[in-house]
Structure 1
């Protein structure tokens, strides 16, 4: 999603001087305002509370050292509310027993990850006046890899968060792009081709047969079929754009399954394909299948399964 680079710059501006104790109404940029749901009517106290609360929530997903560096950099941590950024860096350096230069690097790393989390959770508006907001109650994905054409069956139940919801924005990532993907809507709406959002991410939508009212639920099922196993990567993960309560994943490898499968729960997107990020080992049953269930997914983070590279299949929901 666009805006990440801009948000990184806005956060680097915000950390200067007194951080969140300064004139935040002048230093909180448009992307950060959107991520923190700051409105034009909000005053100094409201802006500070919204930004502080949002950054604290996002920082809770970071490793301990990066979380401390971030909270100190923005003067969110009460013990680090010194008037200058360099003073807060020195305070954090003492806390983690590292030199200030190392802490500055960790602050930069933390800001980059905070921007990734924040922009991953911003809602992507649908075009036109009938756009709406929604969240996922349950997402069930069944992936079959022991066939000449790998298939992914997705069943999702959503709830409209406002009146007039007429379409849903969705996306799927593939190394080969849209040309190797055949999509069939079993029920629940009409497929909308949004085109390639990135080199490996195809955006699609579902036009609903009627408008939904706030609080109303809707279900749909979509089948994705790929030309060959080479069109997949050795993982299947969900990176929700909107809140997702439950993600149920089943992957069938068949008789010739992988040597090892790892569960990824709340991983950064960059970690999904990073062999250095291990995840939790998950058993493969006698039928060559794995079953995982995740609850309370955080938008922008990855949840799912990754298997050893000798299985040359992959995908992303």
Structure 2
């Protein structure tokens, strides 16, 4: 699927009154119809509702200036003025010429097309995805602790549970390492599946059923026996869509390892066994490093790795 094809569909959509124009179905190509998860039986009002919700969702991951321009250009922000009026409004807000506005719209629609292509190319989301993961690992305690907060978004009505996998140390033994999991907010712990010693799964029953497009925050705290942490890294390997990832590792003041590095879009073979390569990270005076990623690719590693030898 080519980004340029999606850009052409967006350009056709933004004409006239944008998403609020008449004959919306006739102005949508197959890719925007797929984005709206619509078919010939979807009525016009539902088609418009789904398309607006999913365009907003895709635009949410863009930088603020581009997001503001593209939602205005497409009429997603709720305005029903024609394209000329919307572009003049953008020019007044930004204090720039019509030609500059058109360049900004083109650039913003290109970024939005890339987000749409990524979403349409992703594997099935089984009902939800992660808009943002914020995680903090503490290594300056008797046990290793990780606090993970996810802002999830439901892609259908009635979502009630989510299942979260966790990576554990290698060679954990027949019983696995000592592991404690607590749901701090957003739901309750419904089940834990440890059939895979290295990658147990936790099922969280959400505090309420979610509607399509509704977001919800879930925080899970994990504690592992420090003596069993044999893999020196904190790495996410996405198996579903993640829009934004923020990871922080705290070694503690004066306890920094010999090297710390950023891991981005790497295969398991690249970061296991550990070795220094790529971008080095320097812990601050409290012994912390932080990394952020946007739109990580499925089945590749993103995070922090460290080692005791150069």
Distance 2:226 2:274 in 1: 24
- Aligned with residue 223 of structure 1, among 221, 224, 228: 221
Mapped contact 1:178–1:202 kept (Cα < 8 A): no
User: What is the number of residues matched between the two proteins?
Assistant: 184
Q: Secondary structure at the match of 2:166?
A: strand
Cα deviation, 1:162-219, whole Å, max 9, x if unaligned, reads 1121111211111227541111111111113342253411111111132211100000
Could you tell me which of 152, 165, 170 is aligned with 2:164? 170
Pairing of 1:1-317 with structure 2 (within 5 A): 122-123=123-124, 132-175=126-169, 176=172, 178-254=176-252, 255-275=254-274, 278-309=277-308
> If the length of structure 2 is used for normalisation, what is the TM-score?
0.55
How far has the Cα of 1:271 moved from its partner?
2.3
Contact 1:174 1:201 in 2 (8 A): yes
In 2, distance between residues paired with 1:170 and 1:151? 17
**TM-score, normalised via structure 1 length:** 0.54
Q: Offset at 1:240?
A: 1.4
In the aligned structure 2, how far is the partner of 1:231 from the partner of 1:291?
20
Matched with 1:31 is none
The 1:179/1:258 distance shift into structure 2, 3 A limit, reads closer
Partner-residue secondary structure (3-state), 2:299:
coil
Whole-angstrom CA distance in 1 between matches of 2:198 and 2:123: 20
Larger mean CA deviation between 276-285 and 154-163 belongs to: 276-285
Cα 1:245–1:263 shift into 2, 3 Å: same
**Cα deviation code 1:114-164 (max 9, x no counterpart):** xxxxxxx6458xxxxxxx511111101111101111110111101111112
TM-superposed deviation, 1:270 = 3.1
- CA distance in structure 1 between the aligned counterparts of 2:295 and 2:203, rounded to whole angstroms: 23
Structure 1 residue runs of 4 or more that deviate by more than 6 Å after TM superposition = none
Any idea what SS the aligned residue of 2:270 has? helix
Cα deviations by residue, 1:275-310 (Å, 9 ceiling, x for unpaired): 467232111112111011111111211100000046
CA 1:204/1:288 → structure 2, altered by over 3 Å: closer, same or farther? Answer: same
Counterpart secondary structure, 1:297:
coil
> Is the Cα–Cα contact under 8 Å of residues 176 and 197 in structure 2 kept in the other structure?
no
Is contact 1:138–1:156 with CA below 8 Å preserved after alignment? yes
Compare CA radii of gyration and give the structure with the larger one: 2
